[in-house]
Amino acid sequence: MAKIHFEGIDVELLSMAEIANIPDDVAEEMLQAGGDVLADAQKRKYLATLKQHTGNLANSLKLSKMTRRQDGSRGITVYPRGKHHSYKHGDGFADASNTEVAFVQEYGSKKRGISAKGIIAAANAESGDAVQAAEMEIYDKWLKTKGK
């Protein structure tokens, strides 16, 4: 059976089956803790990079509920929600969602003369250790309840 081994740390080995059997409530708490850290990092990066007037895009970041994927893994998504603004389109008006605005800011739009800024990718990369630390704090609490 596969085992995880930590060199130099006094930690009992856990089998992959034990890790996979982390209860959903613990997994969700871990993912929520990491997601909160990630959303905060993305918000700070948006505000620093875009010099927004309203902070609408940065403040629209929300976490989804935990989902279980077909392969059995669990996850959450951090993404902007809601309406960003309205614009004139044809004979009337159309709404642009925060998700659409975030996509254009991330990848750019040659047609609109907007360069790619990579805000989400940069925030994700910069906050990786902090996200992992937040998740591990919850995981460690759970291990202590199991006497490990």
Question: Which one-letter DSSP state was computed for residue 82?
Answer: S
pLDDT tens-place string over residues 86-126: 888 888 888 889 999 999 999 999 998 999 999 999 999 99
Closest by Cα among 130, 132, 147, 128 to 18: 147
Q: How far apart are CA 147 and CA 4, in angstroms?
A: 17
102 touches 83 (CB < 8 A): no
> Which band of pLDDT confidence, cut at 50, 70 and 90, is reported for residue 18?
low
> Which band of pLDDT confidence, cut at 50, 70 and 90, is reported for residue 6?
very low
Structure tokens at 28: 């969700």
| 112: helix, strand or coil | coil
Looking only at the bridges linking them, the beta strands covering 3-4 and 67-68 are: unpaired
